[in-house]
């Protein structure tokens, strides 16, 4: 064992000892997260390595993804596995609630789902002893020391798929203390599939063995539209059932006699006239009222309804010029609205679609514009794009992270109550739409897509492949983080596929050029779509072939 490996083992032993010592605190932390609605109310033991499902007999593959993005990237590979090896059992673990509620409805029949165990010796030993996987596929950057070292000790094959490391993590992992540990962990893998050549270089600099690095492309190119099976809404995961005391029946009774909105109005009156404890009880009642009246219904066919809504929007837009600014972060709306103002002077019937990253940001934008006297259509209010309305704000893209972003820096009960009331008023016509595939449909409405999260330092860009797949002319800023490889790959295939701009002035110039010259715009649209299809063609099959040849074949031959 070399010097770096010995240092790595020393650092790991320290990590293992610390994770053992803090294990009780981590369990308390999980319980606190459960109280706050961040962990599933009935599946918390899974986070400690205790299964809630029976392991089927035969070989088993474990795919591990933390959040929604990684989980969605894993699904096409899982489907490819089911296609070619239906005899294999497959387990997918995720760590977040948002990933669970969406992904569980996208998995092929027979694929198991569990919440991932925390990285403590006891939890990992219990999990691996029970499930006894033949191989483990980790998504993106999941380098958990106990998971990797315990799996290696048990002789389980390891693969890192769609592997990436941010520049921040790369600098941290290159530090003298962590470098030996990271080097040791990477040496335990049988396969690393980086999402780009630059990421491959990063892993080699972290001393990953060169012979285990194989390329297949970025799995995000292989994502397909969500299935028509909507997410199952279970509001009991948001608020602990223990707080739904008998006074809940007051809310239910009000609902039965007066209707949902009148019941909420009555509860609001109580909130402002009673003490703090009673307020909290009735807030719990309000949450349970929502759950009882709406969320215990059958699965909502979100995709089908969404397609109908998008088609209706297309009719409303007619032949007006339109462009979309998507995944906008706070501050970036000033850039987009500034460009809108310039374009509107040239094209009075222009429609600008603004899709903020967080729904509340959309409401704030709409309120500000309305105070300025501008006519704005807000998607959550089902407002139409009629003549005279030039701005359409989409405030219905709600992800798990977005929801948690709302619950910060204030009293949790106050925020939950305000959010409940807001939700109910939005549900006059339909359920509030937590539509995770909505953006892909919206891109169909516009010939031009400006991808936000990229115009200010500190931001890290967003996925441009969805806009390219829809045939939009794609523009973005320069602060794109690890999405730089995606932009570079598309530009290498066709320089017209993605245009990067430094800010408002360059964006104005580009937009004016696109709208004034149909041939220029069409060339950009064609380039982005062709580049996307060239990059996505066969990418899942390639990833499966590499994975099967380098990991699964050997793992299954060993007959573990």
Average of per-residue pLDDT values in the chain = 81
The predicted pLDDT at position 334 comes to: 95
Tell me phi and psi for residue 481, to 5 degrees: 55, -135
Higher-confidence position of 235 and 401:
401
| Predicted confidence (pLDDT) at residue 14 exceeds the cutoff of 60 | yes
With a cut of 70, say whether residue 413 has pLDDT above it: no
Per-residue pLDDT at 268 exceeds 80: no
Instruction: Using the predicted structure, report yes or no on whether residue 208 has a pLDDT greater than 50.
Output: yes
- Closest C-alpha among 211, 204, 215, 207 to residue 190: 211
For the cut 90, the answer to whether the pLDDT of residue 393 exceeds it is yes
70 among known catalytic residues: yes
pLDDT of residue 478: 96
88-119: per-residue pLDDT in tens? Answer: 999 999 988 777 877 888 899 999 999 999 99
Split at pLDDT 50, 70, 90, the class of 295 is very low
pLDDT classification of 441: cutoffs 50, 70, 90: confident
Q: Is the pLDDT of residue 483 over 60?
A: yes
Would you place residue 473 in the very low, low, confident or very high pLDDT band (cuts 50, 70, 90)? very high
Give the tens place of pLDDT for each residue, 362-373: 889 998 998 988
Q: What does the pLDDT read at residue 72?
A: 85
What is the reported pLDDT for 282? 53
Could you count the other beta carbons within 10 Å of the beta carbon of residue 208? 22
More confident of the two residues 254 and 490: 490
Q: What is the pLDDT of residue 559?
A: 55
Q: Is the dihedral of CA 283, 289, 295, 296 positive or negative?
A: positive
- For the segment 180-202, the average pLDDT, to the nearest whole number, is 93
Which residues make Cβ contacts (< 8 Å) with residue 29, sequence separation at least 6? Answer: none
Q: Which residue has the higher pLDDT, 499 or 539?
A: 499
DSSP characters for 251-301? HHHHHHHH-HHHHHHHHHHHHHHS-HHHHHHHHHHHHHHHIIIIITSSPP-
pLDDT band with cut points at 50, 70 and 90 for residue 375: confident
Question: Quick check: 416 pLDDT over 90?
Answer: no
Asked whether the predicted pLDDT for residue 293 surpasses 60, the reply is: no
Residue 398 has pLDDT above 80, yes or no: no
- Answer whether 424's CB lies under 8 Å from 261's CB: yes
Averaged over 403-429, what is the pLDDT?
A: 42
Query: Tens digits of per-residue pLDDT, 126-147?
Result: 999 999 999 999 998 889 999 9
- Residue 281's pLDDT is 53
Average pLDDT of the residues in 436-457: 89
Better pLDDT: 49 or 438: 49
State yes or no: pLDDT of 184 exceeds 90: yes
CA proximity to 2, closest of 184, 150, 153: 184
Q: Rounded distance, CA 390 to CA 375, Å?
A: 7
Is residue 291 over pLDDT 50?
A: no
Q: What is the pLDDT of residue 251?
A: 43
Out of 70, 140, 438, 466, pick the active-site residue: 70
Query: What is the reported pLDDT for 431?
Result: 34
Give residues with Cβ within 8 angstroms of 275, minimum separation 6: none
Cα 198 versus chain centre, distance: 23
* Per-residue pLDDT, 21: 94
Mean pLDDT, residues 407-423 taken together = 44
According to the model, what pLDDT value does residue 303 have?
A: 52
Element (H, E) at 153: helix 145-153
**DSSP string covering 22-73:** THHHHHHHHHHHHHTTSS-SS-GGGGGT--SSPPPSS-EEEEE--SHHHHHH
The yes-or-no verdict on residue 261 having pLDDT over 60 is: no
Report residue 84 as tokens: 């070619």
| Domains of the chain: residue spans and CATH | 3-51+58-215 (3.40.50.11720), 235-295 (no CATH), 302-401+408-539 (3.40.50.2000)
């Amino acid at each position: 064992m070399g010097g770096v490996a010995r240092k790595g083992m020393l650092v790991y032993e320290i990590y293992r000892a610390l994770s053992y010592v803090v294990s009780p605190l981590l369990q308390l932390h999980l319980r606190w997260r459960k109280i706050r609605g961040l962990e599933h109310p009935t599946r918390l033991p899974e986070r400690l390595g205790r299964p809630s499902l029976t392991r089927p007999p035969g070989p088993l593959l474990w795919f591990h993804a933390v959040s929604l993005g990684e989980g969605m990237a894993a699904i096409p590979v899982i489907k490819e596995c089911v296609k070619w090896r239906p005899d294999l059992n497959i387990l997918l673990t995720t760590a977040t609630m948002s990933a669970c509620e969406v992904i569980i409805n996208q998995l092929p029949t027979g694929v198991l789902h569990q919440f991932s165990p925390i990285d403590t010796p006891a939890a990992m030993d219990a999990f691996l002893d029970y499930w006894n996987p033949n191989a483990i596929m980790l998504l993106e950057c999941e380098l958990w020391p106990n998971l990797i070292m315990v799996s290696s000790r048990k002789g389980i094959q390891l693969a890192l798929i769609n592997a990436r490391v941010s520049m921040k993590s790369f600098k941290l992992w290159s530090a003298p203390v962590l470098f030996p540990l990271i080097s040791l962990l990477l040496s335990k893998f049988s396969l690393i599939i980086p999402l780009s050549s630059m990421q491959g270089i990063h892993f080699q600099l972290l001393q990953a063995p060169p012979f285990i690095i194989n390329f297949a492309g970025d799995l995000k190119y292989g994502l397909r539209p969500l299935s028509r099976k909507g997410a199952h809404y279970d509001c009991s995961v948001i608020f602990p059932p223990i707080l739904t005391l008998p006074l809940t029946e007051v809310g239910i009774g009000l609902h039965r006699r007066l209707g949902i909105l009148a019941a909420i109005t009555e509860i609001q009156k109580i909130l402002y006239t009673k003490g703090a404890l009673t307020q909290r009880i009735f807030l719990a009642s309000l949450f349970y009222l929502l759950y009882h009246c709406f969320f215990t219904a059958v699965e909502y066919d979100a995709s089908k309804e969404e397609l109908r809504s998008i088609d209706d929007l297309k009719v409303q837009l007619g032949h007006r010029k339109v462009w979309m600014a998507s995944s906008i972060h706070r501050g970036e709306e000033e850039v987009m609205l500034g460009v809108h103002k310039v374009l509107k002077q040239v094209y009075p019937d222009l429609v600008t679609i603004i899709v903020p990253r967080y729904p509340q940001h959309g409401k704030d934008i709409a309120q500000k514009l309305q105070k300025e006297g501008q006519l704005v259509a807000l998607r959550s209010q089902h407002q139409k794009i009629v003549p005279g309305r030039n701005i359409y704000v989409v405030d219905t893209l709600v992800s798990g992270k977005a929801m948690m972003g709302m619950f910060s820096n204030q009293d949790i009960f106050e925020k939950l109550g305000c959010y409940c009331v807001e939700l109910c008023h939005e549900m006059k016509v339909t359920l509030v739409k937590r539509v995770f595939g909505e953006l892909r449909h919206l891109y169909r409405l516009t010939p031009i897509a400006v991808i936000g999260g990229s115009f200010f330092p500190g931001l890290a860009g967003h996925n441009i492949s969805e806009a390219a797949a829809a045939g939009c002319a794609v523009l973005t800023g320069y602060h794109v983080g690890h999405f730089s490889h995606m932009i570079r790959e598309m530009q290498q295939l066709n320089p017209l596929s993605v245009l990067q701009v430094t800010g408002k002035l360059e964006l104005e110039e580009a937009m004016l050029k696109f709208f004034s010259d149909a041939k220029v715009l069409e060339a950009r649209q064609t380039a982005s779509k062709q580049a996307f299809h060239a990059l996505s063609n066969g990418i899942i099959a390639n990833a499966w072939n590499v994975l099967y040849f380098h990991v699964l074949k050997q793992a299954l031959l060993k007959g573990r």
